[in-house]
Amino acid sequence: MKIIRSVAEMQKETLMHKENKRSIGFAPTMGYFHKGHLQLIEEAKKENDIVAVSIFVNPLQFGENEDFGRYPRDEKRDIQLAESYGVDLLFIPTVEEMYPTKPQLNMVMVDRVDVLCGKSRPGHFDGVVTVLAKLFHIVQPNRAYFGLKDAQQIAVVDVLIQQYNFPIELIRVPTAREDNGLAMSSRNVYLTEQERAEAPAIIHALQEAKSLMENEERHPAVIVEKVRALLQQHTSAKIDYVELLSYPELKTIEQINQQVIVAVAVQFEKARLIDNIIYHP
Amino acid sequence: MKIIRSVAEMQKETLMHKENKRSIGFAPTMGYFHKGHLQLIEEAKKENDIVAVSIFVNPLQFGENEDFGRYPRDEKRDIQLAESYGVDLLFIPTVEEMYPTKPQLNMVMVDRVDVLCGKSRPGHFDGVVTVLAKLFHIVQPNRAYFGLKDAQQIAVVDVLIQQYNFPIELIRVPTAREDNGLAMSSRNVYLTEQERAEAPAIIHALQEAKSLMENEERHPAVIVEKVRALLQQHTSAKIDYVELLSYPELKTIEQINQQVIVAVAVQFEKARLIDNIIYHP
């Protein structure tokens, strides 16, 4: 495994692989690896000659009062894990390497971001598409791998790739979960023991939503209220949002008659957790 | 020469050439070819295995009251000329092919656009970078060729390529001129006979500016006033702007002690013409 910290060196390396007709699978990450990252890498290994992974905690996608400074980092452990997972190219740039000058050309999402995390994290997805456009040019992937836990991120990356004609296939990888159903997240380390015991209530509430839809419930409000009630009943977390929207368009709907997402964000004392299910009636 | 009208087909073609290690030189144009376009293509032929040219009058870079509808077009003649110039791939997409959905993700220039044409054409360069980002992904060029007549466009494309890490070399090609010095432009066809006789006064005024700087004049205001006076004296055109700025940063300066641009835009009855000189003291 090559560990690369310079943009120029990474780009040279990936262009060389492309010239030699080797396909590149790419998983962009913020590090602090867990099983979810491993699954992205496993999928990438199946379908590509070269697996590239980036570790970059992107300041542009964090709001002023968010956890950029204390986002969990453990580079040494991540390097060991990446090596053991069979990663070929591990790209770990600094903030200065990625953003050497102040911004002169911004990317601004004007759709799919006025809901869910986009509403509570203004500018977040602008930061996401900006760093991904850069990383896609640096890494030159044939396929890019994203976890469905960040379903809105996938909907946004879909826009980036389609609208700007990136020659990249977007691969959606199912959310990795702990045995009790809790969605894997680097932020789970910030849960107290009590919160960790409560957190599986999130997926249980979403499963109840799915079960209602399977039983022909077609009113979004009924589903949303049920999920809210279950979260309030079983966790101490503050509900940031519970929303049911069309997917991947992320529009509010009157009736459930197309593919939808039921998505949740809750704020525990030190960790904001998200989860979702996607359902097609 | 292949004439291609579909994004998917063009991208398939260019990716195939890249896989076969053929370098691609790309000149994005709005068609209605003149000697300036020919020079871009000649430069591209010298340095690349494959020369790709696009013809696309991009609605996104025209303001509401601008000349999108009546921008000169002559596809049949352009195809013949491209063939005779030795172009390999001629990409002629429709507006619907380039913009099949309404915009969901915008690119917004926040530097180098509050001056010159950016000031009088708000949103123009956002449209330019948006279409170029798409074309770069579709055409996959190693080198992209732009004429220095649109010096601000080159400064903006420089930002696009650098800030977003496109693996593309930006090639600046000197402005092509008629024998009398008038900068070649597709819009020159809209000049009346009288205006066509006056128009060389633009380059003469810019040459006078250069001559003043060569004679140690270091005050921008003096140069700008001289150019204005010459334009007013020798043409019937309305002056849109005369500006002297650092180049490529496009900042106003107090003293001429770095590379600068002296740039002019004038409005004749039906044609808005631009020209510039770049000077390093």
B21 DSSP assignment:
T
Which class would CATH give A186-276? alpha beta
Distance CA B55, CA B186 (A): 13
pLDDT at A50: 98
Amino acid at B125: F
DSSP assignment of A254-271, as one string? SS--S-EEEEEEEE-SS-
- The tens place of each residue's pLDDT in chain A, 281 residues long, gives 999 999 999 999 999 999 999 999 999 999 999 999 999 999 999 999 999 999 999 999 999 888 899 899 999 999 999 999 999 999 999 999 999 999 999 999 999 999 999 998 999 999 999 999 999 999 999 999 999 999 999 999 999 999 999 999 999 999 999 999 999 998 999 999 999 999 999 999 999 999 999 999 999 999 999 999 999 999 999 999 999 999 999 999 999 999 999 999 999 999 999 999 999 99
Predicted confidence band at B67 (pLDDT cuts at 50, 70, 90)? confident
Task: Determine whether the annotation assigns residue B148 to a binding site.
Answer: yes
Average pLDDT of span B74-98: 98
pLDDT at A196: 96
Predicted confidence band at B248 (pLDDT cuts at 50, 70, 90)? very high
Of B7, B111, B140, the CB nearest to A104: B111
Which class would CATH give B2-173? alpha beta
B239 touches chain A (CB under 8 A): no
Distance CA A53, CA A41 (A): 8
Cβ atoms of B155 and B127 within 8 Å: the answer is no
| Closest chain B C-alpha to A70 CA, distance in angstroms | 27
Average pLDDT of span B171-185: 96
Predicted confidence band at B107 (pLDDT cuts at 50, 70, 90)? very high
pLDDT at B61: 96
Distance CA A249, CA A156 (A): 9
Which of B152, B163, B166, B169 is the best residue to mutate to test the A interface, defined by the most A CB atoms within 10 Å of its own CB?
B163
pLDDT at B142: 98
A193 touches chain B (CB under 8 A): no
B129 touches chain A (CB under 8 A): yes
Nearest to B133 by CA among A130, A24, A90: A130
**In terms of CA atoms, which chain B residue is nearest residue A99?**
B163
Cβ neighbors of B233 (< 8 A, separation 6 or more) are B201
The token pair at A104 is 């002169």
Of B7, B110, B137, the CB nearest to A105: B110
How big is chain A by its Cα radius of gyration, in Å? 19
A107 touches chain B (CB under 8 A): yes
How big is chain B by its Cα radius of gyration, in Å? 19
Task: Determine whether the annotation assigns residue B211 to a binding site.
Answer: no
| Closest chain B C-alpha to A91 CA, distance in angstroms | 15
Whether residue B120 has pLDDT greater than 90: no
Q: Which neighbouring-strand residues pair with A246? A: A260
DSSP assignment of B135-165, as one string? HHHHH--SEEEEEGGGHHHHHHHHHHHHHTT
pLDDT at B65: 86
User: Residue A108 and residue B111: Cβ atoms within 8 Å?
Assistant: no
pLDDT in tens, B3-22: 999 999 999 999 999 999 99
Whether residue B68 has pLDDT greater than 90: yes
Return the C-alpha torsion angle B157, B161, B167, B169, nearest 10: 40
Cβ atoms of B68 and B59 within 8 Å: the answer is yes
Q: Beta-strand (E) ranges in B30-156?
A: 50-55, 89-91, 105-109, 143-147
Distance CA A94, CA A73 (A): 13
- 3 state SS for B180-228: CCCECCHHHHHCCHHHHHHCCHHHHHHHHHHHHHHCCCCCHHHHHHHHH
Whether residue B124 has pLDDT greater than 90: yes
Predicted confidence band at B220 (pLDDT cuts at 50, 70, 90)? very high
Distance CA B22, CA B35 (A): 26
User: Residue B164 and residue A111: Cβ atoms within 8 Å?
Assistant: no
Size of chain A, expressed as the number of residues it contains: 281
Cβ neighbors of A228 (< 8 A, separation 6 or more) are A239, A242
Burial zone of A182 (CB within 10 Å; 0-12 exposed, 13-18 middle, 19+ buried):
buried
B23 touches chain A (CB under 8 A): no
Query: How far is CA A270 from its chain centroid?
Result: 19
Q: Are strands A105-109 and A143-147 parallel, antiparallel or unpaired?
A: unpaired
Distance CA A7, CA B126 (A): 26
Cβ atoms of B147 and B40 within 8 Å: the answer is yes
Residue A204: Cβ within 10 Å count: 15
> Does the annotation count A37 as an active-site position?
yes
Helix (H, G, I), strand (E, B) or coil at B251: coil
Task: Determine whether the annotation assigns residue B30 to a binding site.
Answer: yes
Chain A hits for B109, Cβ within 8 Å: 104-105
User: Residue A137 and residue B164: Cβ atoms within 8 Å?
Assistant: yes
pLDDT at A205: 98
Amino acid at B214: E
Give the percent of chain B with pLDDT over 90. 97
Distance CA A202, CA A182 (A): 7
Residue A277: Cβ within 10 Å count: 19
The token pair at A122 is 């203004």
Residue A64: Cβ within 10 Å count: 6
Q: Options 3.40.1170.10, 3.30.1300.10, 3.30.70.260, 1.10.3720.10; which CATH number does B191-279 get?
A: 3.30.1300.10
Of A107, A138, A164, the CB nearest to B165: A138
User: Residue B129 and residue A103: Cβ atoms within 8 Å?
Assistant: no
B237 DSSP assignment:
P
Residue B247: Cβ within 10 Å count: 22
Share the mean pLDDT of chain B: 97
pLDDT at A65: 86
pLDDT at A67: 86
pLDDT at B249: 97
Phi-psi category of A202—alpha, beta or left, where left has phi over 0 and alpha has psi -120 to 50? alpha
Distance CA A229, CA A225 (A): 6
For chain A, the structural domain boundaries read 2-173, 186-276
Task: Determine whether the annotation assigns residue B149 to a binding site.
Answer: yes
Of B107, B165, B167, the CB nearest to A107: B107
Return the C-alpha torsion angle B131, B134, B137, B140, nearest 10: -20
Q: Classify the complex by whether its ipTM is higher than 0.90, answering yes or no.
A: yes
Instruction: Kindly report the backbone phi and psi dihedral angles of residue A120, in degrees, each rounded to the nearest multiple of 5, phi listed first.
Output: -85, -10
